[in-house]
Amino acid sequence: MARLISELNLSSEEFLENQAAYQQLLDRQRQIQPPQPSESAIHLARERKKLLLDERFSALADVGSPVLEIAPLAGAGVDDETPTGAGIRTAVMSVAGRTSMVIGNDPSVKGGTYFPSTVKKHLRAQEIALENRLPCIYLVDSGGAYLPLQAEVFPDRFHFGRIFRNQALMSSLGIPQLSAVLGSCTAGGAYVPAMSDETIMVRGNATIFLGGPPLVQAATGEVVSPEELGGAEVHCTKSGVADHLAHSEEEALMRLRSLVACLGRDTDPLGWRRMQPEQAPIAPYYDPAELPGIVGADLKRPFPIGEVLARLLDDSRFEEFKAGYGTTIRCGFAHIMGYHVGIIANDGILFSESALKATHFIELCSQRLIPLVFIQNIVGFMVGKQYEHAGIAKDGAKMVTAVATARVPKFTLTVGGSFGAGNYSMCGRAYDPRFLFTWPNARISVMGGPQAARVLTNVRQASLARRGAAVD
């Protein structure tokens, strides 16, 4: 593979302006953080001999292994009630040498209850686990649904009940489901450990019951303590709901690691989980730290996608496909962290030639079982009489069809704008990429703000003119 040649001038005025503007974006982004436990929450956890959520994750993860956080900013700015992070932490991480999906409730945030964003984040984590056959590890410490918003959490197809359906489905497919109950587990939340393949409970802190003591007393008149009703001793020795009794959280998390170590070998019929890197990872030849100076914060200012590729690909090497045809999209083969992938990257507006070229390349990768990486910076397809007469809608549809039917893993990175049908043709969320990552400058919409304003103004003026009304 040939190495990409960078023509970037690191001392140019444009580079320095982009770098400064992008740094401001990063600074604003980093100010958006999940809430930290309050002093009273920390004191209560210590009093009950409980770990904080971050401490639970640290105790579970293999030392020094990478952790991929999933949707850490979910819920940010949704409404006045939903916390940033949605009161749950989800991450792909190595546990006892096995890449796993870990899902943990944060009891310091509204008692670990489920907001609409919490449900969506939990379901997304399970979707990733299902697609990639990752064992699911649940750190359960939740009061169930957030009752003031129960209409948006409980009844619909992709609401709270979908979590348990996903557990049953994954277990039936041989994807392990393991739980550690570290605190309260009430009502519908009781089904998370109950539907797991193996469940650990911590004596003194963990409880599981469909109806808590107040509900039992109201319904039957029976007065019973939480421990008597559904404590760890009850479920490990009488009901059989749980499988393992731990005397501390530390012991429970170590037992979880032991269970993962005993899972045995996964057998994936498609072979993706057995895929290994073709070569040792090689750092890009050009420094990725230079990316902010290339991209900037202004979406109206174009940037050469080749400069981005040169700072993402192993050794900055890229075997380009049809380099001289449909030049507003760049396609080719490369390695990322040693894995052989097909790259599809926008370098301008999409024309018919660009769409046909990308369609051909997607079909090649699908045929050869090479995963696809889409790098989005797209305003959409070219418009105008000449292009409509030439059949650009049909050519665009061919590309969308190729994306939808590709039988290889797809990954999407949005490094700029992603507008209109361009989002569809470049494997937006609707086309099921395994992962979709966005940079802080990214924007996704039907069309850009100025274009939308002009269209709406023209429509309004035409409507007034038809009625004979005055147009300002």
- pLDDT tens per residue, range 126-157: 999 999 999 999 999 998 899 899 999 999 99
**pLDDT interval class at 273 (50, 70, 90):** low
For 116, other C-beta atoms within 10 Å of its C-beta total 23
- CA angle 145-149-150, nearest 5°? 50
pLDDT over 90 (residue 455): no
**pLDDT interval class at 456 (50, 70, 90):** confident
* Domain segments of the chain as ranges: 48-272, 288-441
For 397, other C-beta atoms within 10 Å of its C-beta total 16
For the chain, give the percent of residues with pLDDT over 90: 84
Amino acid 318: pLDDT: 98
User: Please, what is the average pLDDT of the chain?
Assistant: 93
Give the mean pLDDT of 169-192: 93
Pull the structure tokens for residue 49.
């001999």
pTM for this model (two decimals): 0.90
Q: What's the CATH number for 288-441?
A: 3.90.226.10
pLDDT over 80 (residue 448): no
pLDDT over 90 (residue 468): no
Give the mean pLDDT of 74-80: 91
Query: 358, 365 in Cβ contact below 8 A?
Result: no
pLDDT over 90 (residue 447): no
- Residue of 110, 252, 120 lying closest to 179 (CA atoms): 252
Characterize the bridge pairing of strands 329-336 and 339-346: antiparallel
CATH class of 48-272: alpha beta
Same fold flag, 48-272 and 288-441? yes
pLDDT over 60 (residue 353): yes
Amino acid 458: pLDDT: 83
Distance (Å, rounded) from C-alpha 46 to C-alpha 52? 9
Burial class (CB in 10 A: 0-12, 13-18, 19+), 204: middle
Distance (Å, rounded) from C-alpha 268 to C-alpha 174? 9
